[in-house]
Structure 1
Amino acid sequence: MVSSAQGRSAQPPFRRRQLGRTLRRLRERVGMTQHEAATRLEFSLSKVSRIESGQRPGLHEFRAMLDIYGLPSGDWEPYLDEYRRAKENGWWRAYGLSDQGYVSMEDEASRVREFQNGFIPGLLQTEAYAEAIFAASGMLRSRHTIENQIAVRMRRQDRLTTQPALRLDTIIDETVLRQRVPPQVMRAQLALIVERSNLPNVRVRVLPRDIEPHDGQYGAFILLDFPEPADPEIAYVEHAFGSVHIEEAEDVRAARLRFDQLAERALGETDSLRLLDRLASRT
Protein backbone atom coordinates (compact mmCIF):
# COMPACT_ATOMS: atom_id res chain seq x y z
CA MET A 1 0.00 0.00 0.00
CA VAL A 2 1.33 3.41 -0.96
CA SER A 3 0.07 6.33 1.09
CA SER A 4 0.60 9.95 0.20
CA ALA A 5 1.75 12.24 2.98
CA GLN A 6 -0.56 14.82 1.49
CA GLY A 7 -4.25 14.00 1.61
CA ARG A 8 -3.86 11.17 4.13
CA SER A 9 -6.67 12.35 6.38
CA ALA A 10 -8.69 9.17 5.82
CA GLN A 11 -5.88 6.98 7.12
CA PRO A 12 -5.63 6.40 10.89
CA PRO A 13 -2.52 7.64 12.69
CA PHE A 14 0.41 5.26 12.69
CA ARG A 15 0.15 4.21 16.36
CA ARG A 16 -3.51 3.27 15.93
CA ARG A 17 -2.71 1.21 12.86
CA GLN A 18 -0.09 -0.61 14.89
CA LEU A 19 -2.63 -1.29 17.64
CA GLY A 20 -5.03 -2.70 15.06
CA ARG A 21 -2.32 -5.00 13.72
CA THR A 22 -1.58 -6.22 17.24
CA LEU A 23 -5.23 -7.12 17.79
CA ARG A 24 -5.40 -8.88 14.43
CA ARG A 25 -2.31 -10.95 15.30
CA LEU A 26 -3.78 -11.95 18.66
CA ARG A 27 -7.04 -13.01 16.98
CA GLU A 28 -5.26 -14.99 14.28
CA ARG A 29 -2.97 -16.62 16.85
CA VAL A 30 -5.97 -18.35 18.42
CA GLY A 31 -7.42 -19.27 15.01
CA MET A 32 -10.47 -17.03 15.32
CA THR A 33 -12.09 -15.37 12.30
CA GLN A 34 -13.31 -11.77 12.37
CA HIS A 35 -16.87 -13.09 12.26
CA GLU A 36 -16.29 -15.32 15.29
CA ALA A 37 -14.67 -12.45 17.20
CA ALA A 38 -17.56 -10.13 16.33
CA THR A 39 -20.10 -12.70 17.57
CA ARG A 40 -18.32 -13.27 20.88
CA LEU A 41 -17.75 -9.57 21.47
CA GLU A 42 -21.27 -8.63 20.32
CA PHE A 43 -19.70 -6.24 17.80
CA SER A 44 -20.68 -5.87 14.20
CA LEU A 45 -18.31 -7.50 11.73
CA SER A 46 -17.55 -4.08 10.28
CA LYS A 47 -16.55 -2.79 13.72
CA VAL A 48 -13.97 -5.55 14.19
CA SER A 49 -12.64 -4.77 10.72
CA ARG A 50 -12.44 -1.03 11.47
CA ILE A 51 -10.59 -1.66 14.75
CA GLU A 52 -8.06 -3.89 13.01
CA SER A 53 -7.62 -1.18 10.38
CA GLY A 54 -6.77 1.48 12.97
CA GLN A 55 -9.93 2.64 14.75
CA ARG A 56 -9.12 2.70 18.45
CA PRO A 57 -11.67 0.77 20.56
CA GLY A 58 -12.85 1.92 23.97
CA LEU A 59 -10.77 0.70 26.92
CA HIS A 60 -13.39 -1.83 28.07
CA GLU A 61 -13.76 -3.08 24.50
CA PHE A 62 -10.00 -3.45 24.25
CA ARG A 63 -9.87 -5.43 27.48
CA ALA A 64 -12.69 -7.66 26.24
CA MET A 65 -10.76 -8.36 23.05
CA LEU A 66 -7.63 -9.34 25.00
CA ASP A 67 -9.80 -11.65 27.10
CA ILE A 68 -11.53 -13.49 24.25
CA TYR A 69 -8.21 -13.84 22.43
CA GLY A 70 -7.04 -15.95 25.34
CA LEU A 71 -4.47 -13.58 26.82
CA PRO A 72 -4.03 -14.08 30.60
CA SER A 73 -4.73 -10.86 32.50
CA GLY A 74 -1.23 -10.97 33.96
CA ASP A 75 0.16 -10.50 30.44
CA TRP A 76 -2.00 -7.50 29.56
CA GLU A 77 0.27 -4.66 30.65
CA PRO A 78 2.42 -4.36 27.48
CA TYR A 79 -0.76 -4.29 25.40
CA LEU A 80 -2.34 -1.70 27.66
CA ASP A 81 0.82 0.39 27.27
CA GLU A 82 0.41 0.17 23.50
CA TYR A 83 -3.25 1.18 23.88
CA ARG A 84 -2.25 4.24 25.93
CA ARG A 85 0.36 5.25 23.35
CA ALA A 86 -2.26 5.02 20.62
CA LYS A 87 -4.49 7.32 22.65
CA GLU A 88 -2.00 10.05 23.50
CA ASN A 89 -0.68 12.74 21.21
CA GLY A 90 2.95 12.41 20.15
CA TRP A 91 5.51 14.98 21.30
CA TRP A 92 5.72 16.28 17.73
CA ARG A 93 2.17 17.65 17.90
CA ALA A 94 3.50 20.57 19.96
CA TYR A 95 5.52 21.56 16.87
CA GLY A 96 2.55 21.52 14.53
CA LEU A 97 3.11 18.05 13.05
CA SER A 98 0.36 15.46 12.71
CA ASP A 99 0.37 11.83 13.86
CA GLN A 100 0.30 10.69 10.24
CA GLY A 101 3.75 11.78 9.07
CA TYR A 102 7.27 10.40 9.07
CA VAL A 103 8.24 11.49 12.58
CA SER A 104 5.52 9.37 14.19
CA MET A 105 6.81 6.30 12.32
CA GLU A 106 10.45 6.96 13.18
CA ASP A 107 9.52 7.43 16.83
CA GLU A 108 8.17 3.86 16.94
CA ALA A 109 10.94 2.32 14.81
CA SER A 110 13.80 0.21 16.13
CA ARG A 111 15.98 0.56 13.03
CA VAL A 112 16.34 3.11 10.23
CA ARG A 113 18.25 2.47 7.02
CA GLU A 114 18.65 5.61 4.94
CA PHE A 115 20.23 6.41 1.61
CA GLN A 116 20.76 10.12 0.95
CA ASN A 117 21.93 11.84 -2.20
CA GLY A 118 20.46 15.26 -1.45
CA PHE A 119 21.19 16.22 2.15
CA ILE A 120 22.90 14.98 5.29
CA PRO A 121 20.41 12.58 6.97
CA GLY A 122 18.24 14.45 9.46
CA LEU A 123 19.36 12.23 12.34
CA LEU A 124 22.93 13.40 11.77
CA GLN A 125 22.42 17.09 11.02
CA THR A 126 23.74 19.93 13.12
CA GLU A 127 21.40 22.78 13.90
CA ALA A 128 23.53 25.16 11.81
CA TYR A 129 23.47 22.82 8.80
CA ALA A 130 19.69 22.45 9.05
CA GLU A 131 19.40 26.23 9.24
CA ALA A 132 21.56 26.61 6.13
CA ILE A 133 19.49 24.08 4.18
CA PHE A 134 16.21 25.80 5.08
CA ALA A 135 17.71 29.19 4.22
CA ALA A 136 18.69 27.94 0.75
CA SER A 137 15.27 26.45 0.06
CA GLY A 138 12.98 28.18 -2.39
CA MET A 139 9.91 27.26 -0.34
CA LEU A 140 8.23 30.09 1.53
CA ARG A 141 8.17 29.28 5.24
CA SER A 142 7.61 31.51 8.22
CA ARG A 143 10.43 31.90 10.72
CA HIS A 144 8.28 30.13 13.30
CA THR A 145 7.78 27.15 10.98
CA ILE A 146 11.51 26.86 10.27
CA GLU A 147 12.37 27.04 13.98
CA ASN A 148 9.84 24.31 14.72
CA GLN A 149 11.17 22.05 11.97
CA ILE A 150 14.74 22.46 13.20
CA ALA A 151 13.65 21.81 16.80
CA VAL A 152 11.90 18.60 15.71
CA ARG A 153 15.01 17.49 13.83
CA MET A 154 17.20 18.03 16.89
CA ARG A 155 14.79 16.22 19.19
CA ARG A 156 14.56 13.24 16.84
CA GLN A 157 18.29 12.73 17.38
CA ASP A 158 17.70 11.89 21.05
CA ARG A 159 16.70 8.41 19.86
CA LEU A 160 20.34 7.71 19.01
CA THR A 161 21.55 8.13 22.59
CA THR A 162 18.59 7.11 24.77
CA GLN A 163 17.42 3.59 25.47
CA PRO A 164 16.17 1.70 23.63
CA ALA A 165 18.53 3.28 21.13
CA LEU A 166 17.47 3.59 17.51
CA ARG A 167 19.79 1.73 15.12
CA LEU A 168 20.82 3.92 12.22
CA ASP A 169 22.48 2.54 9.09
CA THR A 170 23.05 5.29 6.55
CA ILE A 171 24.69 5.54 3.16
CA ILE A 172 25.53 9.08 2.06
CA ASP A 173 26.45 10.03 -1.50
CA GLU A 174 29.83 11.78 -1.47
CA THR A 175 28.40 14.76 -3.38
CA VAL A 176 26.29 15.57 -0.31
CA LEU A 177 29.47 15.97 1.74
CA ARG A 178 30.78 18.53 -0.74
CA GLN A 179 27.77 20.84 -0.70
CA ARG A 180 28.44 24.55 -0.80
CA VAL A 181 27.38 25.61 2.65
CA PRO A 182 29.47 27.97 4.81
CA PRO A 183 32.82 26.23 5.50
CA GLN A 184 32.54 26.48 9.29
CA VAL A 185 29.07 24.92 9.09
CA MET A 186 30.25 22.00 6.97
CA ARG A 187 33.32 21.39 9.15
CA ALA A 188 31.14 21.10 12.23
CA GLN A 189 28.68 18.94 10.31
CA LEU A 190 31.32 16.49 9.14
CA ALA A 191 32.76 16.35 12.66
CA LEU A 192 29.33 15.44 14.05
CA ILE A 193 28.93 12.61 11.55
CA VAL A 194 32.30 11.21 12.63
CA GLU A 195 31.35 11.56 16.29
CA ARG A 196 27.98 9.85 15.81
CA SER A 197 29.55 7.04 13.81
CA ASN A 198 31.40 6.03 16.99
CA LEU A 199 28.10 5.14 18.61
CA PRO A 200 27.56 1.34 18.59
CA ASN A 201 24.10 1.76 17.03
CA VAL A 202 25.18 4.08 14.19
CA ARG A 203 26.76 2.97 10.92
CA VAL A 204 27.88 5.52 8.31
CA ARG A 205 29.13 4.66 4.83
CA VAL A 206 29.91 6.94 1.90
CA LEU A 207 29.05 6.18 -1.71
CA PRO A 208 31.98 7.50 -3.81
CA ARG A 209 31.13 10.11 -6.40
CA ASP A 210 33.39 8.60 -9.08
CA ILE A 211 31.64 5.22 -9.47
CA GLU A 212 29.56 4.13 -12.45
CA PRO A 213 25.83 5.07 -12.68
CA HIS A 214 23.75 3.35 -10.02
CA ASP A 215 20.15 3.03 -8.79
CA GLY A 216 20.75 5.51 -5.99
CA GLN A 217 20.60 8.24 -8.60
CA TYR A 218 16.83 7.77 -8.70
CA GLY A 219 16.65 9.41 -5.29
CA ALA A 220 16.88 9.14 -1.52
CA PHE A 221 14.78 6.71 0.51
CA ILE A 222 14.39 5.34 4.02
CA LEU A 223 13.52 1.88 5.39
CA LEU A 224 12.02 1.56 8.87
CA ASP A 225 11.91 -1.62 10.98
CA PHE A 226 9.86 -1.98 14.16
CA PRO A 227 10.36 -3.89 17.42
CA GLU A 228 7.58 -6.40 16.78
CA PRO A 229 8.66 -8.86 14.07
CA ALA A 230 5.08 -9.00 12.79
CA ASP A 231 4.94 -5.24 12.17
CA PRO A 232 5.60 -4.63 8.49
CA GLU A 233 8.76 -2.89 7.36
CA ILE A 234 7.99 0.47 5.75
CA ALA A 235 9.75 2.34 2.96
CA TYR A 236 9.54 6.13 2.98
CA VAL A 237 10.34 8.46 0.09
CA GLU A 238 10.32 12.23 0.27
CA HIS A 239 10.11 14.21 -2.95
CA ALA A 240 9.84 17.82 -4.05
CA PHE A 241 6.07 18.00 -3.58
CA GLY A 242 5.43 15.77 -0.58
CA SER A 243 6.20 12.19 0.41
CA VAL A 244 4.93 8.63 0.27
CA HIS A 245 5.28 5.70 2.61
CA ILE A 246 5.09 2.20 1.19
CA GLU A 247 3.91 -0.93 3.00
CA GLU A 248 3.37 -3.32 0.09
CA ALA A 249 5.76 -6.21 0.82
CA GLU A 250 7.03 -6.55 -2.75
CA ASP A 251 7.83 -2.84 -3.05
CA VAL A 252 9.53 -2.75 0.35
CA ARG A 253 11.59 -5.78 -0.62
CA ALA A 254 12.72 -3.95 -3.78
CA ALA A 255 13.77 -0.94 -1.67
CA ARG A 256 15.67 -3.23 0.70
CA LEU A 257 17.47 -4.85 -2.26
CA ARG A 258 18.41 -1.42 -3.60
CA PHE A 259 19.84 -0.41 -0.22
CA ASP A 260 21.89 -3.62 -0.07
CA GLN A 261 23.23 -3.03 -3.58
CA LEU A 262 24.24 0.53 -2.69
CA ALA A 263 25.92 -0.77 0.47
CA GLU A 264 28.03 -3.12 -1.67
CA ARG A 265 29.26 -0.18 -3.75
CA ALA A 266 29.86 2.13 -0.80
CA LEU A 267 33.17 2.54 1.02
CA GLY A 268 33.59 0.51 4.19
CA GLU A 269 33.08 2.25 7.52
CA THR A 270 36.79 2.84 8.14
CA ASP A 271 37.42 4.27 4.66
CA SER A 272 34.26 6.36 4.93
CA LEU A 273 35.51 7.95 8.16
CA ARG A 274 38.89 8.66 6.59
CA LEU A 275 37.15 10.43 3.73
CA LEU A 276 35.04 12.45 6.17
CA ASP A 277 38.18 13.49 8.06
CA ARG A 278 39.93 14.52 4.82
CA LEU A 279 36.99 16.57 3.66
CA ALA A 280 36.69 18.27 7.06
CA SER A 281 40.38 19.25 6.99
CA ARG A 282 40.01 20.76 3.51
CA THR A 283 36.81 22.67 4.18
Structure 2
Amino acid sequence: MSDPTFRQVRLGEALKRLRERAGLSQRDAAYRLRYNYQKLSRIENGQLPEYHGMRAMLDLYGVLVSEEAPFIDMWERASEKGWWRPYGLDDQGYISLEHDAVGVCEFSLGYVPGLLQVETYMRAVFRGWHIQHSRKWTENQIAIRTRRQQRLIDDGPLQYHGIIAEAALQQADREQLLHINHRATLSNVTVQVLPGAAGLHDGQNGAFAVLDFAYPGEMSVLYVEHPAGSTHVEDVDRVKATKLVFKHLSKLALTPDESAEWIGRLAAER
Protein backbone atom coordinates (compact mmCIF):
# COMPACT_ATOMS: atom_id res chain seq x y z
CA MET A 1 0.00 0.00 0.00
CA SER A 2 1.37 3.43 -0.95
CA ASP A 3 1.89 6.19 1.56
CA PRO A 4 -1.07 8.57 2.01
CA THR A 5 -0.99 11.74 -0.05
CA PHE A 6 -0.74 15.20 1.45
CA ARG A 7 -4.46 15.70 0.83
CA GLN A 8 -5.37 12.43 2.54
CA VAL A 9 -3.26 13.26 5.59
CA ARG A 10 -4.95 16.66 5.86
CA LEU A 11 -8.38 15.01 5.70
CA GLY A 12 -7.43 12.53 8.41
CA GLU A 13 -6.18 15.32 10.66
CA ALA A 14 -9.39 17.31 10.13
CA LEU A 15 -11.51 14.28 11.06
CA LYS A 16 -9.40 13.71 14.16
CA ARG A 17 -9.92 17.32 15.26
CA LEU A 18 -13.68 16.96 14.77
CA ARG A 19 -13.72 13.76 16.85
CA GLU A 20 -11.76 15.40 19.64
CA ARG A 21 -14.04 18.45 19.53
CA ALA A 22 -16.99 16.09 19.97
CA GLY A 23 -15.34 14.66 23.10
CA LEU A 24 -15.03 11.13 21.70
CA SER A 25 -12.08 8.79 22.03
CA GLN A 26 -11.03 6.77 19.00
CA ARG A 27 -12.47 3.64 20.56
CA ASP A 28 -15.81 5.29 21.36
CA ALA A 29 -16.11 6.75 17.86
CA ALA A 30 -15.12 3.47 16.22
CA TYR A 31 -17.74 1.58 18.24
CA ARG A 32 -20.52 3.99 17.24
CA LEU A 33 -19.46 3.87 13.58
CA ARG A 34 -19.31 0.06 13.69
CA TYR A 35 -15.63 0.28 12.76
CA ASN A 36 -12.84 -1.54 14.48
CA TYR A 37 -10.41 0.69 16.33
CA GLN A 38 -7.57 0.06 13.89
CA LYS A 39 -9.62 1.19 10.89
CA LEU A 40 -10.47 4.56 12.42
CA SER A 41 -6.83 4.98 13.44
CA ARG A 42 -5.74 4.35 9.84
CA ILE A 43 -8.27 6.88 8.54
CA GLU A 44 -7.00 9.54 10.93
CA ASN A 45 -3.48 8.78 9.71
CA GLY A 46 -4.37 9.31 6.07
CA GLN A 47 -6.25 6.30 4.74
CA LEU A 48 -9.09 7.58 2.58
CA PRO A 49 -12.52 6.66 4.01
CA GLU A 50 -15.39 5.63 1.77
CA TYR A 51 -17.82 8.48 1.05
CA HIS A 52 -20.70 7.20 3.18
CA GLY A 53 -18.32 6.45 6.02
CA MET A 54 -17.08 10.02 5.78
CA ARG A 55 -20.64 11.35 6.01
CA ALA A 56 -21.33 9.10 9.00
CA MET A 57 -18.30 10.51 10.81
CA LEU A 58 -19.38 14.10 10.15
CA ASP A 59 -22.84 13.28 11.53
CA LEU A 60 -21.43 11.54 14.62
CA TYR A 61 -19.06 14.44 15.28
CA GLY A 62 -21.88 16.96 15.25
CA VAL A 63 -21.10 18.71 11.97
CA LEU A 64 -24.24 20.42 10.69
CA VAL A 65 -25.30 19.88 7.07
CA SER A 66 -24.63 23.58 6.44
CA GLU A 67 -21.05 23.07 7.68
CA GLU A 68 -20.23 19.94 5.68
CA ALA A 69 -19.11 21.52 2.40
CA PRO A 70 -15.42 22.17 3.29
CA PHE A 71 -14.99 18.60 4.52
CA ILE A 72 -16.74 17.07 1.49
CA ASP A 73 -14.47 19.21 -0.69
CA MET A 74 -11.44 17.85 1.18
CA TRP A 75 -12.68 14.28 0.62
CA GLU A 76 -13.18 14.91 -3.10
CA ARG A 77 -9.72 16.43 -3.42
CA ALA A 78 -8.20 13.51 -1.52
CA SER A 79 -9.97 11.08 -3.88
CA GLU A 80 -8.92 12.56 -7.21
CA LYS A 81 -5.75 11.93 -9.15
CA GLY A 82 -3.60 15.01 -9.67
CA TRP A 83 -2.96 16.44 -13.14
CA TRP A 84 0.74 15.71 -12.60
CA ARG A 85 0.37 11.92 -12.47
CA PRO A 86 0.59 11.43 -16.28
CA TYR A 87 3.93 13.25 -16.12
CA GLY A 88 5.37 10.54 -13.90
CA LEU A 89 5.18 12.46 -10.63
CA ASP A 90 3.64 11.20 -7.39
CA ASP A 91 1.50 13.03 -4.84
CA GLN A 92 4.25 13.52 -2.27
CA GLY A 93 6.23 16.37 -3.83
CA TYR A 94 6.06 20.14 -4.06
CA ILE A 95 3.72 20.27 -7.03
CA SER A 96 0.85 18.62 -5.16
CA LEU A 97 1.40 21.08 -2.29
CA GLU A 98 1.39 24.05 -4.65
CA HIS A 99 -1.73 22.75 -6.39
CA ASP A 100 -3.66 22.74 -3.11
CA ALA A 101 -2.27 26.01 -1.75
CA VAL A 102 -4.18 29.28 -1.85
CA GLY A 103 -1.06 31.38 -1.35
CA VAL A 104 2.70 31.07 -1.83
CA CYS A 105 5.40 33.36 -0.46
CA GLU A 106 8.72 32.51 -2.11
CA PHE A 107 12.24 33.83 -1.64
CA SER A 108 14.56 33.04 -4.53
CA LEU A 109 18.29 33.49 -4.15
CA GLY A 110 19.82 32.07 -7.31
CA TYR A 111 17.09 31.56 -9.90
CA VAL A 112 13.99 33.27 -11.22
CA PRO A 113 11.12 31.41 -9.48
CA GLY A 114 9.60 28.59 -11.51
CA LEU A 115 6.15 30.21 -11.63
CA LEU A 116 7.69 33.23 -13.39
CA GLN A 117 10.05 31.49 -15.82
CA VAL A 118 9.79 31.57 -19.60
CA GLU A 119 10.66 28.49 -21.63
CA THR A 120 14.07 29.69 -22.82
CA TYR A 121 15.09 30.38 -19.22
CA MET A 122 13.88 26.92 -18.15
CA ARG A 123 16.04 25.31 -20.83
CA ALA A 124 19.06 27.34 -19.75
CA VAL A 125 18.55 26.22 -16.15
CA PHE A 126 18.35 22.54 -17.12
CA ARG A 127 21.44 22.84 -19.33
CA GLY A 128 23.35 24.29 -16.38
CA TRP A 129 22.79 21.27 -14.15
CA HIS A 130 25.83 19.07 -13.64
CA ILE A 131 23.73 15.98 -14.40
CA GLN A 132 22.58 16.07 -18.01
CA HIS A 133 19.17 14.59 -18.78
CA SER A 134 17.58 13.32 -21.97
CA ARG A 135 15.61 15.57 -24.27
CA LYS A 136 12.43 13.69 -23.31
CA TRP A 137 13.05 14.41 -19.61
CA THR A 138 13.67 18.09 -20.33
CA GLU A 139 10.51 18.46 -22.39
CA ASN A 140 8.53 16.75 -19.64
CA GLN A 141 9.90 19.14 -17.01
CA ILE A 142 9.10 22.17 -19.19
CA ALA A 143 5.54 20.91 -19.71
CA ILE A 144 5.12 20.46 -15.94
CA ARG A 145 6.47 23.90 -15.12
CA THR A 146 4.32 25.53 -17.79
CA ARG A 147 1.24 23.72 -16.45
CA ARG A 148 2.02 24.92 -12.92
CA GLN A 149 1.99 28.51 -14.11
CA GLN A 150 -1.70 28.22 -14.98
CA ARG A 151 -2.42 28.63 -11.26
CA LEU A 152 -1.59 32.31 -11.63
CA ILE A 153 -4.27 32.96 -14.25
CA ASP A 154 -6.95 30.34 -13.56
CA ASP A 155 -10.23 31.18 -11.86
CA GLY A 156 -9.60 31.54 -8.13
CA PRO A 157 -5.90 32.13 -8.85
CA LEU A 158 -3.00 31.44 -6.54
CA GLN A 159 -1.94 34.45 -4.46
CA TYR A 160 1.78 34.69 -5.16
CA HIS A 161 4.40 36.91 -3.52
CA GLY A 162 7.93 36.45 -4.80
CA ILE A 163 11.08 38.14 -3.53
CA ILE A 164 13.97 37.68 -5.94
CA ALA A 165 17.59 38.46 -5.11
CA GLU A 166 19.28 40.85 -7.53
CA ALA A 167 21.93 38.25 -8.40
CA ALA A 168 19.28 35.91 -9.82
CA LEU A 169 17.90 38.61 -12.09
CA GLN A 170 21.33 39.56 -13.39
CA GLN A 171 21.42 36.14 -15.09
CA ALA A 172 18.08 36.68 -16.86
CA ASP A 173 17.70 37.92 -20.43
CA ARG A 174 15.36 40.64 -21.71
CA GLU A 175 12.50 38.25 -22.50
CA GLN A 176 12.59 36.78 -19.01
CA LEU A 177 12.76 40.16 -17.29
CA LEU A 178 9.86 41.59 -19.27
CA HIS A 179 7.82 38.48 -18.52
CA ILE A 180 8.33 38.97 -14.78
CA ASN A 181 7.05 42.52 -15.05
CA HIS A 182 4.09 41.34 -17.11
CA ARG A 183 3.15 38.75 -14.51
CA ALA A 184 3.55 41.36 -11.76
CA THR A 185 0.66 43.35 -13.27
CA LEU A 186 -1.73 40.58 -12.17
CA SER A 187 -3.65 41.52 -9.04
CA ASN A 188 -2.75 38.20 -7.39
CA VAL A 189 1.00 38.49 -8.07
CA THR A 190 3.49 40.60 -6.10
CA VAL A 191 7.16 40.72 -7.11
CA GLN A 192 9.93 42.43 -5.19
CA VAL A 193 13.63 42.72 -5.93
CA LEU A 194 16.09 42.34 -3.06
CA PRO A 195 19.07 44.48 -4.12
CA GLY A 196 22.63 43.54 -3.33
CA ALA A 197 22.93 46.84 -1.48
CA ALA A 198 20.69 45.37 1.23
CA GLY A 199 23.83 43.70 2.59
CA LEU A 200 23.89 40.47 4.56
CA HIS A 201 20.51 39.15 5.67
CA ASP A 202 18.64 36.00 6.71
CA GLY A 203 17.94 35.15 3.10
CA GLN A 204 21.61 34.29 2.63
CA ASN A 205 20.80 31.00 4.37
CA GLY A 206 18.97 29.84 1.27
CA ALA A 207 15.83 29.96 -0.84
CA PHE A 208 12.49 28.81 0.54
CA ALA A 209 8.75 28.90 0.00
CA VAL A 210 5.89 29.08 2.49
CA LEU A 211 2.55 27.75 1.28
CA ASP A 212 -0.78 28.64 2.88
CA PHE A 213 -3.86 26.41 2.68
CA ALA A 214 -7.57 26.97 3.12
CA TYR A 215 -8.23 23.69 4.90
CA PRO A 216 -10.40 23.78 8.02
CA GLY A 217 -8.02 24.78 10.80
CA GLU A 218 -5.80 26.83 8.48
CA MET A 219 -2.21 25.71 8.15
CA SER A 220 1.02 26.57 6.37
CA VAL A 221 3.95 24.50 5.11
CA LEU A 222 7.59 25.50 4.66
CA TYR A 223 9.28 23.99 1.61
CA VAL A 224 13.05 24.00 1.08
CA GLU A 225 15.08 22.51 -1.74
CA HIS A 226 18.70 21.44 -1.25
CA PRO A 227 21.34 19.61 -3.34
CA ALA A 228 20.25 16.21 -2.03
CA GLY A 229 16.53 16.76 -2.62
CA SER A 230 13.93 18.70 -0.68
CA THR A 231 12.01 18.79 2.57
CA HIS A 232 8.79 20.28 3.85
CA VAL A 233 8.15 21.41 7.40
CA GLU A 234 4.78 21.67 9.11
CA ASP A 235 5.93 22.52 12.64
CA VAL A 236 3.95 25.65 13.55
CA ASP A 237 6.77 27.46 15.36
CA ARG A 238 9.33 26.84 12.62
CA VAL A 239 6.94 27.94 9.90
CA LYS A 240 6.02 31.04 11.88
CA ALA A 241 9.71 31.92 12.28
CA THR A 242 10.21 31.57 8.51
CA LYS A 243 7.25 33.83 7.82
CA LEU A 244 8.92 36.49 9.98
CA VAL A 245 12.09 36.10 7.90
CA PHE A 246 10.06 36.60 4.72
CA LYS A 247 8.42 39.69 6.21
CA HIS A 248 11.86 41.07 7.08
CA LEU A 249 13.15 40.40 3.55
CA SER A 250 10.09 42.14 2.13
CA LYS A 251 10.97 45.26 4.12
CA LEU A 252 14.58 45.14 2.87
CA ALA A 253 13.47 44.70 -0.75
CA LEU A 254 12.37 47.37 -3.18
CA THR A 255 8.63 48.03 -3.23
CA PRO A 256 6.67 46.32 -6.02
CA ASP A 257 6.59 49.56 -8.06
CA GLU A 258 10.30 50.21 -7.49
CA SER A 259 11.00 46.59 -8.40
CA ALA A 260 9.12 46.89 -11.69
CA GLU A 261 11.11 50.00 -12.56
CA TRP A 262 14.40 48.29 -11.60
CA ILE A 263 13.59 45.23 -13.70
CA GLY A 264 12.49 47.44 -16.59
CA ARG A 265 15.80 49.32 -16.55
CA LEU A 266 17.75 46.06 -16.47
CA ALA A 267 15.71 44.72 -19.40
CA ALA A 268 16.45 47.88 -21.39
CA GLU A 269 20.17 47.16 -21.00
CA ARG A 270 19.88 43.68 -22.50
User: Normalised by the size of structure 2, how large is the TM-score?
Assistant: 0.94
Q: Describe the shift of the 1:205–1:250 C-alpha distance in structure 2 as closer, same or farther (beyond 3 A).
A: same
State yes or no: 1:146 paired with 2:133: no
Post-superposition Cα deviations, 1:190-249, rounded to whole Å, max 9, x if no partner, equal 111101111111100010012221111111000000113514210000111100000011
> Secondary structure of the equivalent of 1:141?
coil
State yes or no: 1:188 paired with 2:175: yes
**1:113-152 counterparts in 2 under 5 A?**
113-152=105-144
Aligned to 2:204: 217
Structure 2 letter corresponding to 1:86: A
Distance (Å, rounded) in 2 between the aligned partners of 1:111 and 1:195: 19
Q: Residue 270 of structure 1 is aligned with which of 244, 247, 257?
A: 257
Distance (Å, rounded) in 2 between the aligned partners of 1:267 and 1:78: 38
Structure 1 letter corresponding to 2:166: E
Aligned to 2:166: 174
Please tell me whether the aligned partners of residues 192 and 253 of structure 2 are also in contact (alpha carbons under 8 angstroms).
yes
Q: Residue 32 of structure 2 is aligned with which of 33, 40, 50?
A: 40
Structure 1 letter corresponding to 2:266: L
> Secondary structure of the equivalent of 2:84?
helix
Q: Residue 105 of structure 1 is aligned with which of 70, 75, 97?
A: 97
CA displacement at 1:11 relative to structure 2? 4.4
Please tell me whether the aligned partners of residues 18 and 231 of structure 1 are also in contact (alpha carbons under 8 angstroms).
no
Aligned to 1:15: 7
Query: Which shifted more, 140-149 or 26-35?
Result: 26-35
Query: Which shifted more, 262-271 or 38-47?
Result: 38-47
**1:236-255 counterparts in 2 under 5 A?**
236-255=223-242
Structure 2 letter corresponding to 1:89: K
Structure 2 residue runs of 5 or longer lacking an equivalent are none
Distance (Å, rounded) in 1 between the aligned partners of 2:37 and 2:220: 28
> Secondary structure of the equivalent of 1:89?
coil
> Secondary structure of the equivalent of 1:91?
coil
Please tell me whether the aligned partners of residues 235 and 245 of structure 1 are also in contact (alpha carbons under 8 angstroms).
yes
Give the structure, 1 or 2, with the largest relative contact order (CA under 8 Å, sep 6 or more): 1
State yes or no: 1:260 paired with 2:247: yes
Aligned to 2:20: 28
State yes or no: 1:155 paired with 2:114: no
Please tell me whether the aligned partners of residues 21 and 231 of structure 1 are also in contact (alpha carbons under 8 angstroms).
no
Distance (Å, rounded) in 2 between the aligned partners of 1:221 and 1:49: 33
Aligned to 1:68: 60
CA displacement at 1:166 relative to structure 2? 0.5
Aligned to 2:186: 199
Query: Which shifted more, 204-213 or 226-235?
Result: 226-235
Aligned to 2:268: 281
> Secondary structure of the equivalent of 1:233?
strand
Structure 2 letter corresponding to 1:246: V
Structure 1 residue runs of 5 or longer lacking an equivalent are 1-8
Paired residue total: 270
Query: Which shifted more, 205-214 or 69-78?
Result: 69-78
Aligned to 1:4: none
Distance (Å, rounded) in 1 between the aligned partners of 2:4 and 2:96: 12
> Secondary structure of the equivalent of 1:36?
helix
Query: Which shifted more, 81-90 or 188-197?
Result: 81-90
Provide the aligned C-alpha RMSD in A.
1.8
Post-superposition Cα deviations, 1:106-141, rounded to whole Å, max 9, x if no partner, equal 000000000000111111111111111111111232
Structure 1 letter corresponding to 2:148: R
User: Normalised by the size of structure 1, how large is the TM-score?
Assistant: 0.90
